[in-house]
Amino acid sequence: MILHELISYDVLRVIWWLLLGILLVGFAVTDGFDLGAMALLRATAKIDVERRVVINTVGPIWEGNQVWLILGGGAIFAAWPQLYAVSFSGFYLAMFAILVALILRPVAFKFRSKREEASWRNKWDWVLCVSGIVPALLFGVAVGNVLLGVPFRFSDDLRIYYDGTFFGLLQPFALLCGLVSLAMMVMHGASWLVFKTDGEVAARAARFGAMAAMLASVLFALAGVWIAMGINGYEITSAINKVGPSNPLAKTAAVAQGAWMANFKATPVLWLLPLLGVVLPWISALGMRSRREWLALLSSGLAIVCIILTVGAAMFPMILPSSVDPRFSLTVWDSSSSHTTLFIMLVCVMIFLPLILAYTSWVYSVLRGKVDPMAIIKGETHSY
Listed residue (210, 211, 187, 181) closest to 311, CA to CA: 181
Query: What would the mean pLDDT of 186-191 be, rounded to a whole number?
Result: 96
Q: What is the per-residue pLDDT for 244? A: 86
Domain that residue 247 falls in: 8-378
Average pLDDT, the chain: 89
Q: How many CA atoms lie within 13 A of 245 on its CB side?
A: 3
For residue 176, pLDDT over 90 is answered with yes
Share of the chain above pLDDT 70, in %: 97
Q: What is the per-residue pLDDT for 356? A: 84
Is residue 1 domain-resident?
A: no
Q: What is the per-residue pLDDT for 4? A: 60
Dihedral sign of CA atoms 250, 255, 256, 259 in order: positive
Rounded CA-CA distance 8/20 in Å is 18
For residue 178, pLDDT over 90 is answered with yes
- Mind listing the pLDDT tens digit for each residue in 94-152? 888 988 998 998 898 888 888 888 889 899 999 999 999 999 999 999 999 999 999 99
Reported residue count of the chain is 384
For residue 24, pLDDT over 70 is answered with yes
Name which residue leads in pLDDT, 4 or 290: 290
Is residue 3 domain-resident?
A: no
113-123 in b/e burial notation, b at 16+ Cβ within 10 A? eeeeeeeebee
203 CB contacts (<8 Å, ≥6 apart)? none
Is residue 242 domain-resident?
A: yes
Decide if 343 contacts 269 (C-beta within 8 A). no
Decide if 28 contacts 356 (C-beta within 8 A). no
Looking at the structure of the chain, the number of domains it has is 1
Rounded CA-CA distance 145/137 in Å is 13
How many Cβ atoms from other residues are within 10 Å of residue 296's Cβ? 30
Angle at 32 between CA 109 and CA 78, to 5 degrees: 100
Query: What would the mean pLDDT of 328-341 be, rounded to a whole number?
Result: 92
Decide if 145 contacts 239 (C-beta within 8 A). no
Is residue 2 domain-resident?
A: no
Phi, psi of 60 (to 5 degrees): -75, -10
Listed residue (181, 176, 196) closest to 56, CA to CA: 196
- Mind listing the pLDDT tens digit for each residue in 238-271? 988 888 888 888 899 999 988 999 999 999 999 9
Of 262-266, 306-310, 316-320, 365-369, which range is least confident?
Answer: 365-369
Is residue 238 domain-resident?
A: yes
Is residue 384 domain-resident?
A: no
DSSP, collapsed to helix, strand or coil, labels residue 257 as: strand
Is residue 138 domain-resident?
A: yes
